[in-house]
């Protein structure tokens, strides 16, 4: 059976850690769901870690499970609340899913908001690294580039898995938006790709295609450096050359200035999509 397996979850770091909200660099923002297997047999457990950071900074997302506002699975038959996959833990970081029927499935997670503050120089560097042009422009126009940066941030994440000998004709839900505030939607089912192929994706922000957003492609087996980081075109589309069989992460970040909110000057959302090709 074809599958992609990562470090054993029995030996992976599952200890409770401080919430890695910023840690002084943009790297701490990367957030995704990483199944131990992206292709399993029906009724098999799919142990899935929630990660933040990348490369040497990768670690499990050790925050209160109450920060997860939505956890659901989506198959050909529709969406199902999957909060029980957390196993009743008070701390997030791991979930276990199981599907009796063959098919392609999505895991989808949404987090609550949190507030973060960075000194001026690190905040400017973070905004540049993440390609947050609206933030940079706003700070320049408001002449606040020397002030600390405060933002309200939250996270969105999706993962696609295959269960059994799935029928490609029943995977239309994979290429449909779920309605996340910020969402990466593949225009082809990436789990069905074989070898080196092109994968077009659309980025939606509040239900509308988002132009000018930087989308980063990373190989999860070597995630210290991005494979590509194009910006979406005027239709919210970006196209990636998937180099071959492997497990991959797509990341996007978007931020907008806030008016009249005493907590922060910006609202930032981080969104990701993980999948494996054959």
Residue range 200-216: average pLDDT?
97
Query: ∠135-141-142 over CA atoms, to 5°?
Result: 85
User: Are the C-beta atoms of 127 and 135 separated by less than 8 Å?
Assistant: yes
Backbone angles phi, psi at 15, to 5 degrees: -70, 155
Query: Side-chain half-sphere of 176: how many Cα atoms within 13 Å?
Result: 12
User: Are the C-beta atoms of 26 and 129 separated by less than 8 Å?
Assistant: yes
What pLDDT, on a 0 to 100 scale, did the predictor assign at position 242?
A: 97
Inform me whether the pLDDT recorded for 204 exceeds 90: yes
What are 72-95's pLDDT values in tens digits? 999 999 999 999 999 998 988 999
- Compute the distance between CA of residue 166 and CA of residue 101 in angstroms, rounded to an integer: 9
**Scanning the structure block, which residue is given the tokens 């309200």?**
152
Cβ neighbours, 10 Å, residue 90? 9
What pLDDT, on a 0 to 100 scale, did the predictor assign at position 82?
A: 97
Tokens of 94: 């791991």
Percent of the chain surpassing pLDDT 90: 79
Tokens of 167: 């029928």
Burial class (CB in 10 A: 0-12, 13-18, 19+), 40: buried
What are 145-169's pLDDT values in tens digits? 999 999 999 999 999 999 999 888 8
Could you list the beta-strand ranges (E) of 119-245.
Answer: 149-163, 182-186, 197-205, 208-209, 215-219, 237-242
Tokens of 174: 């994979």
> DSSP states of 28-87 as a string?
GG-EEEEES-SEE-TT--EEEEEEES-GGG-EE--SBGGGEEEEEEEETTEEEE-GGGGT
User: Are the C-beta atoms of 213 and 232 separated by less than 8 Å?
Assistant: yes
Q: Where are the domains of the chain?
A: 26-277
Query: Side-chain half-sphere of 201: how many Cα atoms within 13 Å?
Result: 31
Backbone angles phi, psi at 189, to 5 degrees: -75, 110
Rounded to the nearest integer, the mean pLDDT of the chain is: 89
User: Are the C-beta atoms of 63 and 69 separated by less than 8 Å?
Assistant: no
């Amino acid at each position: 059976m074809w599958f992609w397996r990562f470090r054993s979850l029995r030996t992976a770091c599952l200890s409770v850690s401080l919430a890695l909200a910023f840690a002084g660099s943009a790297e701490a923002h990367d957030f995704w769901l990483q199944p131990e297997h992206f292709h399993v047999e029906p009724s098999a457990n799919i142990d899935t870690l929630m990660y933040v950071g990348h490369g040497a900074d990768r670690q499990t997302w050790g925050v209160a499970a109450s920060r997860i506002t939505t956890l659901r699975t989506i198959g050909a038959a529709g969406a199902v609340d999957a909060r029980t996959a957390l196993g009743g833990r008070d701390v997030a970081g791991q979930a276990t899913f199981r599907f009796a029927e063959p098919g392609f499935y999505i895991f989808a997670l949404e987090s609550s908001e949190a507030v973060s503050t960075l000194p001026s120089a690190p905040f400017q560097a973070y905004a540049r690294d993440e390609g947050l042009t609206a933030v940079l422009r706003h700070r320049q126009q408001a002449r606040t580039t020397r002030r600390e940066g405060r933002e309200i941030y939250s996270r969105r994440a999706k993962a696609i898995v295959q269960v059994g000998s799935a029928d490609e004709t029943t995977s239309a839900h994979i290429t449909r938006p779920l309605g996340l505030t910020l969402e990466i939607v593949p225009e082809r089912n990436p789990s069905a790709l074989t070898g080196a192929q092109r994968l077009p994706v659309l980025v939606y922000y509040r239900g509308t295609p988002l132009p000018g957003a930087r989308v980063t492609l990373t190989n999860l087996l070597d995630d210290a450096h991005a494979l590509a980081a194009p910006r979406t075109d005027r239709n919210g589309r970006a196209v990636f050359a998937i180099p071959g069989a492997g497990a991959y992460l797509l990341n996007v970040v978007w931020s907008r200035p806030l008016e009249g909110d005493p907590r922060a000057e910006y609202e930032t959302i981080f969104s990701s999509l993980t999948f494996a090709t054959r």
